[in-house]
Amino acid sequence: MHLIKPGERRVVLVGFFMFAAVVFLILSPGTVGAHSPSGVTLGYDTPTQTLKVSITHTRFSDSHYINKVEIRKNGNLVSLQEYKKQPAETVTYSYKVTATAGDALEVRAYCNKFGSKEETLTVGRPGKPVPK
State pLDDT tens for residues 52-75: 999 998 876 788 889 999 999 999
- CA-to-CA distance for 80 and 78, rounded, in angstroms? 7
User: Among residues 51, 76, 78, 55, which one has the least CA distance to residue 67?
Assistant: 55
pLDDT at 31: 47
User: Among residues 79, 81, 72, 68, which one has the least CA distance to residue 113?
Assistant: 68
Question: For residue 110, is pLDDT > 50?
Answer: yes
* CB environment 16-55: b (16+ within 10 A), e (fewer): eeeeeeeeeeeeeeeeeeebbbeebbbbbeeeeeebbbbb
What separation in angstroms does the CA of 89 have from each of 1, 45, 57, 67, 117?
60, 24, 5, 13, 15
pLDDT at 60: 64
Least confident of 6-10, 96-100, 116-120: 6-10
Fold designation for 39-122: Immunoglobulin-like (2.60.40)
pLDDT at 19: 72
pLDDT at 37: 77
- Is residue 33 within 8 Å of residue 61, measured between CB atoms? no
pLDDT single digits (tens) 80-101? 999 999 989 999 999 999 999 9
**What's the count of helices (H) and strands (E) in the chain, helices before strands?**
1, 7
Of residues 29 and 7, the one with the higher pLDDT is: 7
Mean pLDDT computed over 4-8: 66
Question: For residue 34, is pLDDT > 90?
Answer: no
